[in-house]
Amino acid sequence: MKKSSRILGHTPLAFELARAIVKAAPTDASVLLVGESGTGKEVVARAIHNRSPRHAEPFIAINCGAITESLAESEFFGHEKGSFTDASSTTPGCFEQAHNGTLFLDEVTEMPLPMQVQLLRILETGQYHRVGGTKQLTVNVRIIAATNRDPRQAVQSGRFRSDLLYRLAVFPVRIPTLRERKKDIMYFARRFVDELNEQEKTGKTLAASATKVLEAHNWPGNIRELKNVITRAYILADNIIDIQPITPLHLSNPPEVQQGQVKIPIGTSLLSAQRAIITATLDSYDGDKRRTALALGISPKTLYNRLAQFHKGGETKPAS
């Protein structure tokens, strides 16, 4: 447990999470990680894999929400040469790549319903065939899935199959938010500084005032947001890393939404206008990224790229 807790924090919630990792790792039970964006779900998934009997085998991660429905089958199961226009060679899918190891299905509740049926089938039988192929293949993988939404609500809304949820949530694990364990904030901040110092061969240190500033923030982006803040401050600092008060990223003139229409003030930058339209559409579809992408006429992958850009950008705010 000591190694797991070192990467997860020092608070009681961090030790509880580390205990869950230790209990789940030696088994082959499917694990479902539930937590907000930026809480470190992939870190937890890798920790489970690294402590498991499969640790010497592949760990393959795939973002289910970033795959278009038309390409999902090929991404999961691979394809044979010539099975479609751009199929110049036989290519294994993520299941084949993860054979004997662990397959991490991130944002699993964003998976298109038709793909959920195929995923359920391979989980039940362990068998599949590549797109354009006839040979039945057998795979042995351990599944770790993750979602940033309540999976029960996803089932109730019809977005996610209940039988698939039962298959994935044999061992459910909730990942706590950073605001729930504020005593871990400085632990992570110092760790990120140490990593940057080691990477850049420097000896920078956090200012004494950093603790008050960092612990006063609510961290809607969780550990990922904290890492970004520390990295920016590190780049700007000479020797002492001074953390300025963190203000939520937002539009200076928030758009008004009335009766399904977004009103954007004249003079709003194109990036901010884009963010406003995407955010309003996402809200109108209750956070359903697949339906949002369809309504906006873009692919889910493009939507995820835009949301990631908003999360990193100077004038925008993450919308997930």
3-state secondary structure 216-278: HCCCCCHHHHHHHHHHHHHHHCCCEECCCCCCCCCCCCCCEEECCEEECCCCCCHHHHHHHHH
| 285 has a pLDDT exceeding 80 | no
Instruction: List 54's β-bridge partners, or say none.
Output: none
pLDDT score of 83? 62
Interval 31-51 mean pLDDT: 95
Q: Which of 6-10, 135-139, 191-195 has the lowest mean pLDDT?
A: 6-10
Question: How confident is the prediction for the chain on average, in pLDDT?
Answer: 84
pLDDT score of 255? 53
Which amino acid, one-letter code, is at 32?
L
| 314 has a pLDDT exceeding 90 | no
Would you place residue 290 in the very low, low, confident or very high pLDDT band (cuts 50, 70, 90)? confident
Q: Which residues contact 304 (CB under 8 A, 6 or more apart)?
A: 63, 65, 66, 289
* Choice between 50 and 292, residue whose per-residue pLDDT is larger: 50
d(CA 260, CA 41): 34
pLDDT score of 275? 81
| 6 has a pLDDT exceeding 60 | no
Of the candidates 46, 37, 58, 59, which has an alpha carbon nearest to the alpha carbon of residue 110?
Answer: 37
Interval 63-74 mean pLDDT: 78
Predicted confidence (pLDDT) per residue in 58-68, tens digit:
999 998 887 77
pLDDT score of 319? 35
Q: How far is CA 145 from CA 8, 30, 109, in A?
A: 19, 8, 9
d(CA 164, CA 83): 28
d(CA 45, CA 147): 12
Please say whether the beta carbons of 292 and 283 come within 8 A: no
Would you place residue 3 in the very low, low, confident or very high pLDDT band (cuts 50, 70, 90)? very low
Interval 175-181 mean pLDDT: 94
Would you place residue 28 in the very low, low, confident or very high pLDDT band (cuts 50, 70, 90)? very high
* Choice between 250 and 298, residue whose per-residue pLDDT is larger: 298
Angle 277-283-288 (CA atoms, 0-180°, nearest 5)? 105
Of the candidates 59, 51, 65, 244, which has an alpha carbon nearest to the alpha carbon of residue 142?
Answer: 59
Please say whether the beta carbons of 32 and 266 come within 8 A: no
pLDDT score of 313? 52
pLDDT score of 204? 96
Q: Which of 43-57, 135-149, 190-204 has the lowest mean pLDDT?
A: 135-149
Of the candidates 121, 16, 69, 116, which has an alpha carbon nearest to the alpha carbon of residue 290?
Answer: 69
Q: In a 3-state reduction of DSSP, which class is residue 106?
A: strand
Report field, pTM of the whole predicted structure over 0.85: no
Q: Which domains, from first to last, does the chain contain?
A: 2-176 (3.40.50.300), 179-241 (1.10.8.60), 256-312 (1.10.10.60)
Q: In a 3-state reduction of DSSP, which class is residue 115?
A: helix
Predicted confidence (pLDDT) per residue in 226-255, tens digit:
998 999 899 999 999 999 888 655 444 445
Q: Which of 1-15, 43-57, 92-106, 254-268 has the lowest mean pLDDT?
A: 254-268
Half-sphere exposure of 53 (CA within 13 A, CB side): 7
| 1 has a pLDDT exceeding 50 | no
| 109 has a pLDDT exceeding 60 | yes
